[in-house]
Amino acid sequence: MASGSSAGDAGATDGFTLMSITLENIDKSFGSFRALRDISLEIPDGELVGLLGPSGSGKTTLLRIIAGLESANAGRILFHGQDVTRLHVRERKVGFVFQHYALFRHMTVADNVAFGLDVLPRRQRPSAAEIRKRVGELLEMVQLSHLAGRYPSQLSGGQKQRIALARALAMQPQILLLDEPFGALDAKVRKDLRRWLRNLHDELNFTSVFVTHDQEEALELSDRVVVMSAGQIEQVDRPQALYARPVSQFVFDFLGHVNVLAGEIADQRIAQRDAWIRLPEAVPSGAAQLYLRPHEVRLQLHPVDHAYLPLQVESISLVGAEVRLELRPCGWDAPQLWEVGITHAEYNGWQPQRGDRCFAVPDVGHLFRPDCASPGTFYWG
Ligand code: ADP
Ligand code: MG
């Protein structure tokens, strides 16, 4: 339990204090199931970190351990260099917002925001006037002052989540934890709230950990993204670096569509049935998979010197900034259809139809081999 040197002492009582988070070799099992394996992570103060991974990868469990709602079987948690591993959730001064943050239905918006302060022991509780003032400021911050007297049932989903956030912030947390806070909202509202949360984070400068299974949300919102898979960290990186240099096939697959040529390498070429690509440098022979993102491939009507990848147009999507083609390999196989984007100008010049033949020209490719932990990236031209 809390001792005299609680984490709260590290921060001022007034305003928001920056807190770094250190996770050291965190392990967590539920019965015989190991939900987290040896998680170590350093989150500098003021950073907004996204925990990204498929359902069941351990994101919520890790967040609950940081909050103190769950205890780890092994490992340490430090806030601002102080060991909080054994500190009770109440002593950790973290705020959290969940996907379905139940607001109290019988309380107004203002009373919901004030709740955590109202129930503090008398010694710690600010005066009624002080609480009113703080609630007013928070409602202004989440731009919902005009709804102070309403009840939760009179709010939209997005407004409820903003109130939930105001309620979390009322306690002046040093760390803010968010578990799929926008998961239940529709796409447009999600996007708006995402931008709004990022601005709020930058303005207030707390340290935030944000859970999502949505790649776009993680890449757009986070300073750094932690990709999790089966209770382990696959990769930690800034969004651009993560996207440019995924360290594993798992991360690659998880971050969006990928075009794959799976084949055998011999004589500096990777080949499968009719298809082949000549690699810019020598690589040991054997089985391999070349991954290419939609924008790392061009389409032409004739093959080039370094690749022979015949494709047939399967579908054409004109909606969006570019025209997206789905293409079926001809005389070779791929785990899924290839996808390549072309500009609307290219589309107008070429006027492709369903069933048309063309050739893929790789500009960049990422080669995975069974004996290598991380891919080799190649550039042509
Ligand atoms: P995520 O948030 O990434 O979807 P969770 O952290 O919720 O994943 O769960 C990770 C794994 O741990 C899942 O397989 C889940 O079933 C299991 N798990 C989580 N909480 C419990 C619990 N209280 N008891 C048993 N198993 C649990
Ligand atoms: Mg979860």
What pLDDT sits at residue 5? Answer: 37
Residue nearest to ligand 1 atom 26, measured at CA: 30
Q: Is the CB of 213 under 6 A from ligand 1?
A: no
What pLDDT sits at residue 84? Answer: 95
Whether the per-residue pLDDT at 63 is higher than 80: the answer is yes
3-state secondary structure at position 57: coil
Mutate-to-test residue for ligand 1 from 27, 28, 55, 60, highest number of ligand atoms within 8 A of CB:
60
236 vs 67: CA distance, rounded Å: 21
Compute the distance from residue 179 Cα to the ligand 2 centre, in Å.
7
Give the ligand at the shortest distance from the Cα of 61. Answer: 1
| Average pLDDT of the residues of the chain | 91
Compute the average pLDDT of residues 2-12. 37
Which residues surround the ion ligand 2 when the cut-off is CB under 5 Å? Answer: 60
Q: Which is it for strands 307-308 and 310-317: parallel, antiparallel or unpaired? A: unpaired
What pLDDT sits at residue 184? Answer: 77
CA nearest neighbour of 95 among 186, 184, 181: 181
98 vs 294: CA distance, rounded Å: 34
Write the DSSP assignment of 141-189 as a string of letters: HTT-GGGTT--GGGS-HHHHHHHHHHHHHHT--SEEEEESTTTTS-HHH
Determine the angle formed by the axes of helices 128-141 and 157-170, rounding to 10 degrees. 140
What's the pTM value of the predicted model, to 2 decimals?
A: 0.84
Compute the distance from residue 117 Cα to the ligand 1 centre, in Å.
31
Q: Is the CB of 157 under 6 A from ligand 1?
A: no
Residue nearest to ligand 1 atom 17, measured at CA: 35
Give the ligand at the shortest distance from the Cα of 51. Answer: 1
Compute the distance from residue 362 Cα to the ligand 1 centre, in Å.
40
Lowest mean pLDDT among 33-47, 166-180, 272-286: 166-180
Compute the distance from residue 272 Cα to the ligand 2 centre, in Å.
40
What pLDDT sits at residue 17? Answer: 56
The strands making up 275-278's β-sheet, listed across from edge to edge, are 307-308, 275-278, 269-272, 259-266, 286-292, 364-368, 376-379
Based on DSSP, count helices (H) and strands (E) in the chain, helices before strands: 9, 22
Where do we find the tokens 């810019």? 280
Whether the per-residue pLDDT at 56 is higher than 90: the answer is yes
Bridge partners, residue 23, by sequence: 41, 77
312 vs 109: CA distance, rounded Å: 57
Compute the average pLDDT of residues 43-57. 95
Lowest mean pLDDT among 86-95, 187-196, 251-260: 187-196
What pLDDT sits at residue 348? Answer: 96
Q: Is the CB of 61 under 6 A from ligand 1?
A: yes
Residue nearest to ligand 1 atom 24, measured at CA: 30
Residue nearest to ligand 1 atom 20, measured at CA: 61
The band of 326, judged by pLDDT with boundaries at 50, 70 and 90, is: very high
Minimum-distance ligand 1 atom for the alpha carbon of 211: 2
Minimum-distance ligand 1 atom for the alpha carbon of 53: 3
> Per residue in 113-126, pLDDT tens?
999 899 888 998 99
Q: Is the CB of 366 under 6 A from ligand 1?
A: no
What pLDDT sits at residue 163? Answer: 93
Compute the average pLDDT of residues 166-177. 89
Lowest mean pLDDT among 85-89, 133-137, 245-249, 320-324: 245-249
What pLDDT sits at residue 319? Answer: 87
Mutate-to-test residue for ligand 1 from 55, 61, 99, highest number of ligand atoms within 8 A of CB:
61
20 vs 143: CA distance, rounded Å: 28
Minimum-distance ligand 1 atom for the alpha carbon of 51: 3
Whether the per-residue pLDDT at 194 is higher than 50: the answer is yes
Bridge partners, residue 312, by sequence: 328, 357
Whether the per-residue pLDDT at 141 is higher than 80: the answer is yes
Lowest mean pLDDT among 28-32, 159-163, 340-344: 159-163
Whether the per-residue pLDDT at 11 is higher than 50: the answer is no
Residue nearest to ligand 1 atom 7, measured at CA: 60
What pLDDT sits at residue 101? Answer: 67
Whether the per-residue pLDDT at 206 is higher than 90: the answer is no
CA nearest neighbour of 52 among 188, 293, 234, 257: 234
Q: Is the CB of 54 under 6 A from ligand 1?
A: no
Residue nearest to ligand 1 atom 16, measured at CA: 56
Q: Which is it for strands 48-52 and 207-212: parallel, antiparallel or unpaired? A: parallel
> Per residue in 207-266, pLDDT tens?
999 999 999 999 999 999 999 999 999 999 999 999 888 888 899 989 989 999 999 999
Q: Is the CB of 35 under 6 A from ligand 1?
A: yes
Q: Is the CB of 183 under 6 A from ligand 1?
A: no
Compute the distance from residue 196 Cα to the ligand 1 centre, in Å.
29
Determine the angle formed by the axes of helices 157-170 and 187-204, rounding to 10 degrees. 20
Region at 56 (left for phi over 0; alpha for psi -120 to 50; beta for the rest): left
The strands making up 323-329's β-sheet, listed across from edge to edge, are 297-300, 357-362, 310-317, 323-329, 338-342
Q: Is the CB of 56 under 6 A from ligand 1?
A: yes
Whether the per-residue pLDDT at 1 is higher than 50: the answer is no
Whether the per-residue pLDDT at 13 is higher than 90: the answer is no
CA nearest neighbour of 223 among 203, 201, 204: 201
